[in-house]
Amino acid sequence: MSSKSMTGFGRGEAEAGGRQWVAEIRCVNHRHLDLKIKLPRGYADLEERARKMVAETLQRGRVDVLLSVSGDFSDLHKIEVNSSLAATYNKALAALANSLDLANDTTLSGLASYPDVLVLTRKEEDLEAVWPVMGAALQEAVDACDTMRSQEGEAMARDLHERLENFAADVQKIGNSIPELLERREQSLNERLQKLLDRVQLDPQRLAQEVAILADKTDVTEEIVRLESHINQFRSFLDADEATGRKIDFLLQEFLREVNTMASKINDADIAHLTVSLKAELEKMREQVQNLE
């Protein structure tokens, strides 16, 4: 079985050049793919690559991706010396000392402490060199999340298969009970007419016509045939190698339509109990399907 849940979590790490990338993915159910990616400042140009990588595997659901980086960034830092500004500071201090008749005790460390004498700048990072590391962490997180979704999806598919077999068994019970139901109704109709007409000989042809009309109103053959077709399609969707959650959700609506039509045609306590059971099973299946990719 290849069904996948839309709920999952994955984490991945990768390290190179003294820096460590960590990727975390959290997924919940959603009608479409709602992908949000949060990157550290300065790495926005890599978002499209990250988005494409995630979307290749996770096709549906609300997916939140958090990427972070930590470690040694000293290779990106550069200190620039503003020599002309330092000379200006030095000249001003010498003039001040002379005007106040004070000793000029200016030192190198003193000059360096003045604003903008030493300027710390950060070099632009080579994103082409960053992507293999960041991408490795992200791919690990995607794979871990996908594995979790697959495991949960397989458990859900097993449960849905079991519920579907119960549903199919009840549909078959209804189909098998129709001939007996018609026979009981024919007998009941005959008895009621006998009481109403009181010893008047019934016209067999007229009675046969009434029974035929009753049988036509009670005939649910088409509904049962369509339900059996839907059941087979449901099984194929569960075993398909693609995301079929939305298709199954739509199919369950068709299931419910047929069951409601069948229930309205058959006015019988025993069969009514079975149709209620069918609806309850459909509701349980639909709750499960809401979380299938």
Question: Structure tokens of 166?
Answer: 């119960």
The domains of the chain are located at 8-72+127-149, 83-116, 151-289
Give yes or no for residue 116 having a pLDDT over 70: yes
What are 232-242's pLDDT values in tens digits? Answer: 999 999 888 78
Please say whether the structural domain 8-72+127-149 has been given the CATH code 3.30.230.
Answer: yes
Which of helix, strand or coil describes residue 85? Answer: helix
Give yes or no for residue 61 having a pLDDT over 80: yes
- Indicate the pTM of the whole model: 0.70
What are 165-219's pLDDT values in tens digits? Answer: 999 999 998 888 877 777 776 666 666 666 655 655 656 666 556 555 555 566 7
- Amino acid at the residue 287: E
Give yes or no for residue 28 having a pLDDT over 80: yes
CA dist 7 and 30 (Å) reads 10
Backbone angle region of 14, left / alpha / beta, with phi > 0 → left and psi within -120 to 50 → alpha:
beta
Quickly state the pLDDT bin for 23 (edges 50, 70, 90).
very high
CA dist 198 and 278 (Å) reads 42
**pLDDT, position 228:** 92
Give me the mean pLDDT over the 11-23 stretch. Answer: 95
